[in-house]
Amino acid sequence: MKKISKTLIFTIVLCNVYTYANQICITFYSNRGNSRGHDVATKVRQVESYANWMDASLNEKASLFINHLKNKIKPGLRLVDLGAGTGNLGRYFAVNFPDITVTSVELSPDLIKIGKAQQGNQKIPNYLMEHGDITGSYLENKKEKSDIILMNSVLHEVSSFYHINPEIPENATAQRLGEIRRLLKRINQNLNPSGSLIFRDFVRPTNADRKVILKHLKSDQKEGFKFSDFANQFGFFKVPIKILTEPNQDPAYIYYETSLHSVFEYIFRKDHGFDWKAELNENYGFWDEKEMRTLLSEEGFRVTTIENQDPSWFINNFVKNKIEVLEADKTTVIAPHEYVRKVIVNAEKSAISEVRDVINEHIRRQGDLKESSYTFFQNVISSQNAIRIIKEILSSDDLLTAVAKRAIRHPLGFTKFILDNNWSDRFKGVPEWDLRLHVWDSSPGMSDFLSVENVLESLHAHRWNFISTVLTGSIENHKFLFRQPTENEMKLYERIIAKVPHANQKTLEEACGIEELLQIRGSSLIPETVDMTTLIQRRKQLLETLNISESELKFLSSIFEKYENWLDTTNNSPKESYRLAGYLIADAELSDGTNNVTIHKSNSTYFHGRSSAHRLAVDPRVHTATFLLVGPSKQEPGVLRRPFASHGNQEIQRSFMTVDQARETLKKLLISLSPND
> 218 falls in which pLDDT band (50, 70, 90)?
very high
Q: Alpha carbon 47 to chain centroid distance? A: 38
> 456 falls in which pLDDT band (50, 70, 90)?
confident
Least trusted range by pLDDT, from 60-64, 289-293, 308-312, 463-467 = 60-64
How far is Cα 160 from Cα 222, in angstroms, rounded to an integer?
Answer: 25
SS3 label, residue 629: strand
Residue 364 pLDDT > 80, yes or no?
yes
Least trusted range by pLDDT, from 203-212, 260-269, 613-622 = 613-622
Q: Cα–Cα distances in Å, from 46 out to 21, 84, 110?
A: 9, 17, 11
Contact present, 263 and 271 (Cβ < 8 Å) = no
How far is Cα 403 from Cα 396, in angstroms, rounded to an integer?
Answer: 11
Bridge partners, residue 641, by sequence: 561
Give the mean pLDDT of 368-375.
88
Output the CA torsion 194→198→202→208 (10° steps): 20
Structural domain boundaries in the chain: 12-42, 352-673
Q: What is the pLDDT of residue 147?
A: 96
Summarised one tens digit per residue, pLDDT across range 87-121 is: 999 999 999 999 999 999 999 898 999 999 989 99
How far is Cα 621 from Cα 442, in angstroms, rounded to an integer?
Answer: 5
Give the mean pLDDT of 398-417.
87
Contact present, 98 and 74 (Cβ < 8 Å) = no
Residue 161 pLDDT > 80, yes or no?
no
Give the mean pLDDT of 548-554.
92
Instruction: Look over the chain and give the mean of its residue pLDDT values, rounded to a whole number.
Output: 81
Please, which residues have CB within 8 angstroms of residue 193's CB and are 6 or more apart in sequence? Answer: 349, 354
Contact present, 507 and 644 (Cβ < 8 Å) = no
> 43 falls in which pLDDT band (50, 70, 90)?
very low
Give the mean pLDDT of 310-332.
92
Give the mean pLDDT of 286-302.
90
Q: What's the predicted TM-score (pTM) here? A: 0.73
180 CB-contact burial (10 Å; exposed 0-12 / middle 13-18 / buried 19+): buried
Give the mean pLDDT of 546-569.
81
How far is Cα 548 from Cα 536, in angstroms, rounded to an integer?
Answer: 15
How far is Cα 54 from Cα 276, in angstroms, rounded to an integer?
Answer: 15
Q: What is the pLDDT of residue 1?
A: 39
Q: What is the pLDDT of residue 625?
A: 95
> 7 falls in which pLDDT band (50, 70, 90)?
very low
> 643 falls in which pLDDT band (50, 70, 90)?
confident
